[in-house]
Amino acid sequence: MRRGQPERPAISHQIRALIRQMCRENPGWGAPRIHGELLKLGIDIGESSVSKYMVRGRRPPSQTWRTFLDNHLTQLVSIDFFTVPTLRFQVLYMFLVLAHDRRRIVHCNVTARPTAEWTGQQLREAFPFDQLPTARPRCHLRQGLPRPGARHGHP
């Protein structure tokens, strides 16, 4: 203890036990929430002290996004729509499927009026059912595709 500074009051064993009990019974609560609940009960304790006495989870760390991508690289594809303006100021819609393992184009096609049926046909052409299961991707990164039944560009 330094001179001239008052010593912090010790946290009683009952309050420590209460903090741990609140952590176990409410795993979604963090230190700010538990601190607020203790203040409602009339227990004046700092949030840093609550954090100090909280029960720590013993879960193994989950893999990072980069690790997931590295582990599933051969099974990932990206699918995207993008627009291509023509010399006559028309807009064409390009449908593109890219494989991540070799950065190769799996399928591409162009249309002036994309529909859900046309998009479904492009997916069937990109991934025919007669392919071996190991050749088909198990997951895809979806970006820019309209939801089924919607016209492209409209929610």
Residue pLDDT, tens place only, 21-59: 998 899 888 999 999 999 999 999 999 999 999 987 766
Q: Residue 96: which residues within 8 A CB-CB, separation 6 or more? A: 79, 80, 81, 82, 105, 107, 108
Q: What is the mean pLDDT of residues 66-85?
A: 87
Distance of CA 94 to the CA centre of its chain: 27
| In 26-150, alpha helices (H) | 31-40, 47-53, 65-71, 116-126
Work out the pLDDT band at 87, boundaries 50, 70, 90: very high
Q: How far apart are CA 45 and CA 22, in angstroms?
A: 15
CA dist., res. 131 & res. 117, Å (int): 22
Q: What is the pLDDT of residue 34?
A: 93
Query: How many CB atoms are located within 10 Å of the residue 101 CB?
Result: 12
Tokens of 81: 């729509």
According to the model, what pLDDT value does residue 133 have? 55
- pTM here is 0.46
Residue whose token pair is 């198990």: 138
pLDDT digits (tens, 9 = 90+) for 121-147: 998 898 887 665 555 555 555 555 555
| Phi, psi dihedral angles at 137 (to 5 degrees) | -70, 150
Give the pLDDT mean for 18-23: 92
Q: Provide the 3-class DSSP secondary structure of residue 50.
A: helix
Q: Predicted confidence band at 6 (pLDDT cuts at 50, 70, 90)?
A: confident
Beta-bridge mates of residue 80: 96
Which helix (H) or strand (E) segment is 90 a member of?
A: none
